[in-house]
Structures are given as structure tokens and as C-alpha cells.
Amino acid sequence: MNAATIQIMIGLAAGIGLAAATGLRVFIPLLGASIAALAGHLTLAPGFQWLGTWPALAALSAATAIEIAAYYVPWLDHALDAIAAPAAVAAGTLLTVSLLGEMSSCWRWTLGIIAGGGVAGIVQAGSMLVRGASAAATGGFGNHLVATLELAGSVALTVVALLLPAICIVVVVALLAWAIRRIGRSRRHAVPL
């Protein structure tokens, strides 16, 4: 295996880890990638260097703060789910594509959409189901705990994806298995029309 192939595999692992984190919070992984790129720890693919700029860092910091605060407002957290689902898929795709530098553009986007967008979408769907179940079971009072756990999970996944991408894949597989089981359980208990 040559150095370029290893770099692509590491980029894909980090991208998938960051994509999973966007399923919990959209802007935290983008902010983490921006910080890592500015610090020189992360090499971005051609066309994505904007993510490692000071204006991007400022915008992503503001967006992250607003997103975190909004999930602690009882009615707003459910409204955010309608926006967060497609935003998480887009952010997961973008992050994955931005880390696959030595690959053709066609393959980067194909992997980004399938792997990054797919992982982000599955994690987001599982997260939405947990938040909905929490709201139903606790009248919305448990949603602060769920929001805090999602925040912690997104931060942890972002850090692991950036520092230990190979280990992150194991965590992401476990998270996907949990989300898929949760979605399957939800479908079994759905009332047929």
C-alpha cells in the first residue's frame, strides 16, 4: 500500500467519523475541522481550503453556539430536527469530501455522498427518534439530558475522528448499529395507516 492510499483511508475514516458527529450536532464537527485545519493538523482537499480560514472559524463558532443553545429550548429543539436532518447529510458529505484529497473529484463526491451523507443521515434519524421518545415519555423535561448527551457525543466523535480516525471507525460502526436498531424498533411499533 502506498502513502497516497493510506492517506485516502485515513481521510475516509476521519470523514466518516466527522459525518457521524454531524448527525448529533451539525456545526461542531465543521468547527472542529476548521480548528484542526487552522492548526495545521488537517489537510483539506483542493477547493475546501476555505474551511481552514479565520472567517470560516468565526462563522462556524457563532453557528455552533446558536445550535447548542437552541437545542435547550423545548419547542425549538423539535423544529430544528426538520432543518438538522438535511443539514447533517450535507455537512457529513462536505466533511468527507474535504478529507479525500488525492482522489478524483468523481470518487470523492461519490464516497462523500454515500458514506458521509449516509452515516450522518442514519445517526440523525436515530437521534430524532430518541428525542421524540424522550419528549413523549417525559413531557419534554428529559430533552435537556438528551441534548447534553448529543452535544457530548458530537464533541467526543469529532475529537476522536480528528486525532484517532482508525479507532473512530469502530465507534461509528457501534453508533450506526444502535441507530439502525432504534429505527427498526420504531418501525415495528408504528401504527399502520
Is residue 187 domain-resident? Answer: no
Q: Please count the structural domains in the chain.
A: 1
Q: Is the pTM of this model over 0.85?
A: yes
State residue 193's pLDDT score.
Answer: 45
Q: Which of 159, 145, 61, 47 is nearest to 103 (CA)?
A: 47
**What average pLDDT does the segment 157-181 reach?**
86
User: 4-16 pLDDT, tens per residue?
Assistant: 788 888 899 999 9
Contacts of 150 (CB under 8 A, 6+ apart): 24, 25, 71, 127
What is the longest distance spanned by two Cα atoms in the chain? 55
Burial of 40 (0-12, 13-18, 19+ CB in 10 A): exposed
Domain carrying residue 11: 3-179
What count of Cα atoms within 13 Å lies in the side-chain half-sphere of residue 21? 32
User: 16-74 pLDDT, tens per residue?
Assistant: 999 999 999 999 999 999 999 999 999 999 899 999 999 999 999 999 999 999 888 87
Is residue 21 domain-resident? Answer: yes
